[in-house]
Amino acid sequence: MNVVLRQMLARELTLANRRRSDLANPLFFFLIVVSLFPIGVTPDLQKLSEMAAGVLWVAALLAALLSLDLLFRHDFEDGSLEQMLLSSVPAQLLVLCKTLSHWLVTGLPLTLMSPVLSVMLALPVSAIPLLMLTLAIGTLTLSLLGGIGAALTVGLRKGGLLLTILIMPLFVPVIIFGTSAVQSFANGMPWTAQLALLGAFGAGAFAVSPWLTVAALRVTVGD
């Protein structure tokens, strides 16, 4: 079983490495959205630092969502997705590998990039580690939950927009807990409860989403 998992992860990462522009696009998008806020709202650092956590979170999520559409698409188009569903290895494990590798190539780079952008938005430096931790959990949850949405829309030509409509309402709790943990920390208020709830939500998504993703794939791939 471990061999299969390792091979699957290696395959996903190799494929991601071969499509470098798909890797870079979310990061550029993140940079652009974040830099639009000072231009569009205000260059006042005082005000920016109040909004920083929310802006970074929303921009990172939009960037990760942008790439979710491709999670199953290439495999669907060349037929390997069908083979994964038919193989003797539990499809849930393969799907979990795919979502994890999606996080490794989008969520993790976005998290690693966030300190630079948070300095530009004047987020207090002491809050940066917590911002990175919440973003890491949040983008992982997005990859997991988004897998369900990507599976539901995989056969559709205009799936990307639909995916956003399907996933964003479900994702409201994560945004709320993530941003409020960082903001509370920056304001010197208790923040551990929000972080615990964020982690709980992520763990729940980890447990449930592979099954739902496979159930959705069995509907849409057969379509």
Partner 1 sequence: MWQAFVRWFHKWSSPKWFYEMSRPWSFWLGWLALICIATALVWGLAFSPVERLQGNSYRIIFLHVPSAFLSQAIYMTIAVAGAIGLVWRIKLAFYAAKQCIPIGMSMAILALATGAIWGKPTWGAWWVWDARLTSMLILLLLYLGLWALHNAMERAESGDRAAAILALVGVVNIPIIKFSVNWWNTLHQPATLKVTEAAPMHMSMLIPLLLSIFGFYLAFLAWMLMRTRLEILDREKKARWAQQEIRNLEAQ
Least distance CB 149 / partner 1 (angstroms): 8
Angstrom distance (rounded) from CA 165 to CA 154: 14
The radius of gyration computed from the CA coordinates of the chain, to the nearest angstrom, equals 18
- Restricted to residues 134-193, the positions that interact with partner 1 (CB under 8 A) are 148, 152-153, 155-156, 158-159, 162, 165-166, 168-170, 172-173, 176-177, 180, 184
Least distance CB 182 / partner 1 (angstroms): 13
Angstrom distance (rounded) from CA 72 to CA 82: 11
Q: Is 222 in the site for partner 1 (CB under 8 A)?
A: yes
Residue 57, SS3? helix
Q: Which is nearer to partner 1, 109 or 178 (CB)?
A: 178
Per-residue contact string for residues 21-50; x = within reach of partner 1 by CB under 8 A:
------------------------------
Rounded to the nearest 10°, the torsion over CA 101, 107, 110, 114 is: -140
139, 111 in Cβ contact below 8 A?
Answer: yes
Angstrom distance (rounded) from CA 215 to CA 219: 7
For partner 1, how many residues bind (rule: CB under 8 A)?
Answer: 29
Q: Is 71 in the site for partner 1 (CB under 8 A)?
A: no
Residue 135, SS3? helix
Least distance CB 112 / partner 1 (angstroms): 27
Q: Is 103 in the site for partner 1 (CB under 8 A)?
A: no
81's enclosing H/E stretch is: helix 80-86
The residue ranges that bind partner 1 (CB under 8 A) are: 148, 152-153, 155-156, 158-159, 162, 165-166, 168-170, 172-173, 176-177, 180, 184, 197, 201, 208, 212, 215-216, 219-220, 222-223
